[in-house]
Structure 1
C-alpha cells in the first residue's frame, strides 16, 4: 500500500471529526472565538437546531481582509506564537483548527470589519473550497455563518438527533457560558423567533444570571464559597445538601474561565458531600477554580473539554477541604442563599426530591482499644436526654419563663420549643415563624458529630495483626503501596512490599479491625493511584460511628419536656452539618408567618 499525502480538505474533515461533533460544538468554537476577540455582545441565530443554520455575530475586534484566508487555514492563530505561549495559554481557543474544520463540512461564510476600516469584507468557503474576498457592509466585529452542516459528509449527518435534542445541547452549553461570562450579553433566536436573552450583568454576585441559569430553588439554597491558598482560588456556589439532584445535571466547573470536566475535582466534591448527602443523590454546584495557567495543561483534548493539572493531588485536597469546611457550617437555623427573592431554604428542601424514609442501620460495638472510649462518649451524650435533664452546654428555657414576642430579634435561630407533635417533631416559635424539627434525625447528627470529635481527639489507633497477612496484588498496586508507605501508615496500615506482586500487611486501623481490611486496603490503593489521596478509612470509620449515633439517638414516641426540646435546639445551632442527619435527610424546616398567613387567606 502506497503512502501518500492527504489533501487539505480531507485533513480538515478528519479534524472536524474531533472538533465538530454536533451543532453545539460549532456554536461553542465560534462563540469562544468571539469572546477571545473581546466581544461584549454575541448574537446566535439558529435554524433547525443549528443543522440548517448557525450564525454568530459579535462586536469584537474584527479581522482584516488579508487575514480572512488565514483564519480558515489550519493551525493559523493570533493567540500563540511559541511553546511558552502554549504552556501559559489563557484564551479559550488556540489550536487554529476550528474554522477550517467547520468550513470543510458546511457552506461557510466569514464577514468582518475592524474599527479603523472603511468597510467590511467577506470570504465564503463551500465544503472546504475557499472563494475570493469581496467587500461587504458590516459593523465592527465578525459574523460567521454555517449553513447545511455535514451536507457533504452524509454519514456524519445521519448521527445527528432530532431538532429539539440538538437545540437542547446548544442551550446547555450557552447556560455554561452564561455562568462563566455574566459580563457578556447573549441573544439567541431559533427558526426566526427570539429564544433567549442573557443580559450582560457584570458578575454573578448580582444573582440574576445565577437565578436564570439554574432556577429559583438552586439560588435559594446556594452557599457562597470563596477561598484562596497555595496560589489557588476556589469560588462560586454550592447547594445545601438538602437541595440535591438525581443526576449530575447541575454541576459546573470552570478552570480559569474554561468550562471543563475533571474526574479528580468531581471526586473531591463527592467526598466533601459524602457525610451529608442522601444515598444515590448528587450535589449541585457552580465552581470557579483559578490558578497560574502554567499549572494546568488545556491542550489534552481536541474539543478542550478536559484539562490536566500539574499538581493534581494538591488541587484535589484544596477543593475537598474548602467544600468540606463550607458544608460543616451548614448548621440548622443559619440563613443561606444568594439573597434573591423566594421563601426559605429549609422548608422548600423538604420538597426537593429527598425520600423521607429512614432505614434503621444495624451495627456492633467494635472490640478495639477505642471501643470503650467511644461507648463512653455515646453513653455520656445520651444521658443528656435520658433523665429529663437539660444540656449544661446550652441552657434551656425554664417552663415558667414566658416566650419572647415573635418579633424579638434576640430569639435564637431555631427559636424556643412550643410542643411536641406525635412524639416525632418538635414545634418551635422563631422570629420568622414556625420551626419544625425531626428530633431523631437532629439528635442523630449531634451524637454523630460528638463521636467523630471524640475519635479525632484520641487520634488514629492501629492494631497489629497476630499473623501478618500476605496480599497478592498487581505490580502497579505494589508500586503504589511502596511509594505511598508513609501515607498508608498515617491511615493506619503498616504495609511493606514483599515481592513484585505481593504485599505484607502487619497493622490495620483499630476501629475497623473486624471488617474486611484487605478489601479496604485495595480500595485505598486505587484511590491513591487515581487521585493521590484517599478517605476510605475515614469513610469506613464514619459509617460505623454513624450507625452507633443512630442507635444512640432519641427514638420516635419518646416524650420530651420543654427544657429537653430547647436543649436539643441549642445543640443543633452549635453542631456542624446539623441541617441534615447522617443519611442526608433534612433535620428541620422553617415556615414563615407570611407563608402561614396564606394557608388561612389572611389579608385577602
Structure 2
C-alpha cells in the first residue's frame, strides 16, 4: 500500500467538481442560486454552444468586497453560515461554500463584482491548473458577473461525456425554468448564442404569477389547474395542481419547492400519487407546481451535494398534510373548474370571463330550438324567426328539486326496477317507474352541467348549458357517484376483521418481522392481526372482512414494503377502494338503459354534488363539453 498523503487543493476541488458540476446546467444552477442569495432582483444568463464555451451569469445583488474576492473562490468559504446553529436552520439556497472553487478547477473563471459602498469594481480570474487568483480593477455596476469559459478544458474525460449542444441547452433551460418558478419576485433572462430564449419580468401580483406559470409551463396548464393555499401545524402548501383530465404520459411537469428550493423527494411523490390515486387513468402522471413552506429547522437540506434532496424531521406529518390538502382540493373540483379550462382552450374568453350578452353565450346568437320531448327549448335560427325561449330562460333553477326525487331515481336504478323490454328488445321505463318532475324554469340559476335534452344510443346523455353541448357517459358518471357513496359509508364505520380458520404462515426477513412486530397496533387498525412467531416467521390471524378473498400473504408483504419505503402504508385502503370500485362498476346503470329526461337531469344534479365526478374510478372522463365556438367551426358558421 502506498503511504497516506494529503491531496493537492487542485485535485480535491476536481473531485468535488465531480459531485457538483455534472454539466453546464449544474454550473448555471449554482451561479443563479448564489445570485438569488445575494438579493438579486434581476438575473441574466448568457450561454454559448450549450454552455460548453461560455456561461455568464449577471445579477444586481449586493456584490462582493474586493478583499473577499480571492476567498470567494476558495473551498468551503461562505458568508451564509458561521456555526452549527446556522447549519441546523439553513435559510439560503447555497451554504457549502464549494461551488465556485469546484467550478474554477475545471474551467477558466472570471468574477467581477462591486458593492454599493465601493467606487469601483474588481475582477478576479482563475484558471483550472494552478488556480492562482489574479485581481484587477474593472468597470461594473453594483452586483456580480461570473464568466465560466471552456468548461472541462483540463479534464478531457469529463468533456467527452457532454451531450449535443441542443441537449445541454435543454438542461440549462430547465434549470432556469425551475429557478424562475421558485422566485416570482426576480426577473430572469436567458440567451443562447446571443438569441433571447426567455425574458421574464418580476411577478408581483397574482395575475403576473399566473402569467409566468403560463409562460414557463404552458397556457394549457394554467387553464386546467386548481389554485390551492392551505396552512396547518406550522406548514403551508400553496400553488397550482392540474385537473385530473390534464394528466401527462410522463412526470415532466412536476415542480415541488421547499422554502424556495426545488427538490425531488420520494415522500412528496408518494403523497401526491396517493392524492390522485383514483382519478388518473392507467400510468398517467399528474402535473403541478407546488410550494411548501416549513420552519427551516425542521428540514435538513444537507443530505445531497446538489441539494436536490431533503429530509424532514417529521416526514409523516408532512406527507399527511400534502396528501390531505391535495385530496381535498381535487375532491372539491366542480364542473365549473373543468369549464374554465375547456373554454380557455377553445378561445371562448367572453364566456370564461362571464361576459356573455343577451344574444347568447360568447356573443353568438342562441341556437335553434331542439324539438325533443321534455327538452328546454333553445335559441332562434339566424334567419330571425321568433325564439321559443330566451337565453336567460335556459338558466333554469331547480330549487324545488328535492333529494327524495333523486333518491327515487337511484332506487329504481339500483334495484333494477322500472325496466321493461319491448318486442324489439329495447329497454324502457315502465308505468310503475317513479315519476320525477322536470325542474322549474327560473332566470339566472342554471346548474353547471345544464339540462338534459336527449339520450344517444342508450350510452350518452346530451345536455345543454350556456357554454354549449355537454355530453355525459352515463355509466361512468353513475359509477363515480356510487363509488363515492360506498366510500363514505365505509368511512363512517370501522374496518371489520374476520378471523382466519387456518392462520397464514409467512417466511420473511428479520427486518420485516421486526417491522411487523413494531407496527402491530397500526396493522390491527387496518383489520390485520399479524403475530411474530419466530425470528423470520409471521402468522396472519385476521384480515379485513372485505378482503377475505384476496391474496393475504401478498397484501402483508406489500404493506411491509410500504412501511420500509415510506414509514406508513395505505395498501389496505387502496385494495379496499379497488374492490369498492369494482362493486360500483357492476352496480351502476348499464349501457342501452333508456332514461327519461327527469332521470337524466337527476343524474346531472348528482354529478354536480359528487366529489371527483369528472372521472370514473378508473380515471376515465365522465363528461365533455363542446362549446358553441367549436360547434360553429364544425359547420363553418360565421365565415
TM score, norm. by length of structure 2: 0.85
1:541-584 CA deviation, whole Å, 9 max, x = no partner? Answer: 11111111111222222211101100110110111110001111
1:31 alignment partner in structure 2: 32
Structure 1's unaligned 5+ residue stretches are 346-376
- The answer on 1:485 being equivalent to 2:520 is yes
1:290-309 alignment, distance < 5 Å: 290-309=293-312
2:423 alignment partner in structure 1: none
Structure 2's unaligned 5+ residue stretches are 349-407, 420-428
1:382 alignment partner in structure 2: 413
1:124 alignment partner in structure 2: 125
- The answer on 1:565 being equivalent to 2:582 is no
1:127-276 alignment, distance < 5 Å: 127-128=128-129, 129-202=131-204, 205-206=207-208, 207-276=210-279
Q: Give, in whole Å, the separation in 2 of the partners of 1:275 and 1:500.
A: 38
Is the CA contact (8 Å cut-off) linking 1:443 and 1:553 kept in structure 2? yes
1:20-61 CA deviation, whole Å, 9 max, x = no partner? Answer: 000000000000000000001011010000000000000000
1:111 alignment partner in structure 2: 112
1:504 alignment partner in structure 2: 539
Q: Give, in whole Å, the separation in 2 of the partners of 1:589 and 1:336.
A: 9
Q: 1:69 to 1:396 in 2, by over 3 A?
A: farther
- SS of the residue corresponding to residue 274 of structure 2 reads helix
1:355 alignment partner in structure 2: none
- The answer on 1:467 being equivalent to 2:499 is no
Shifted more, 197-206 versus 154-163: the winner is: 197-206
Is the CA contact (8 Å cut-off) linking 1:182 and 1:203 kept in structure 2? no
1:408-447 alignment, distance < 5 Å: 408-447=443-482
- For residue 458 of structure 1, report the CA deviation from its aligned partner: 3.3
- SS of the residue corresponding to residue 198 of structure 2 reads strand
Q: 1:260 to 1:396 in 2, by over 3 A?
A: farther
Q: Give, in whole Å, the separation in 2 of the partners of 1:593 and 1:582.
A: 30
- The answer on 1:323 being equivalent to 2:326 is yes
- SS of the residue corresponding to residue 458 of structure 1 reads coil
2:579 alignment partner in structure 1: 544
- For residue 600 of structure 1, report the CA deviation from its aligned partner: 3.4
Q: Give, in whole Å, the separation in 1 of the partners of 2:498 and 2:83.
A: 56
Q: Give, in whole Å, the separation in 2 of the partners of 1:115 and 1:340.
A: 50
Please tell me the root mean square deviation across aligned C-alpha atoms, in Å: 2.4
Is the CA contact (8 Å cut-off) linking 1:222 and 1:336 kept in structure 2? no
1:517-536 CA deviation, whole Å, 9 max, x = no partner? Answer: 11101111111222122111
1:315-394 alignment, distance < 5 Å: 315-334=318-337, 341-343=344-346, 380=411, 382-383=413-414, 386-387=417-418
For residue 312 of structure 1, the aligned residue among 279, 304, 315 is: 315
Q: 1:409 to 1:385 in 2, by over 3 A?
A: farther
2:11 alignment partner in structure 1: 10
Q: 1:468 to 1:341 in 2, by over 3 A?
A: closer
- SS of the residue corresponding to residue 133 of structure 2 reads strand
1:459-482 CA deviation, whole Å, 9 max, x = no partner? Answer: 210001112222211111112111
- SS of the residue corresponding to residue 43 of structure 2 reads strand
Shifted more, 323-332 versus 65-74: the winner is: 323-332
Q: Give, in whole Å, the separation in 2 of the partners of 1:559 and 1:332.
A: 25
Q: Give, in whole Å, the separation in 2 of the partners of 1:381 and 1:219.
A: 41
Shifted more, 2-11 versus 204-213: the winner is: 204-213
Q: Give, in whole Å, the separation in 2 of the partners of 1:339 and 1:577.
A: 17
- SS of the residue corresponding to residue 145 of structure 2 reads strand
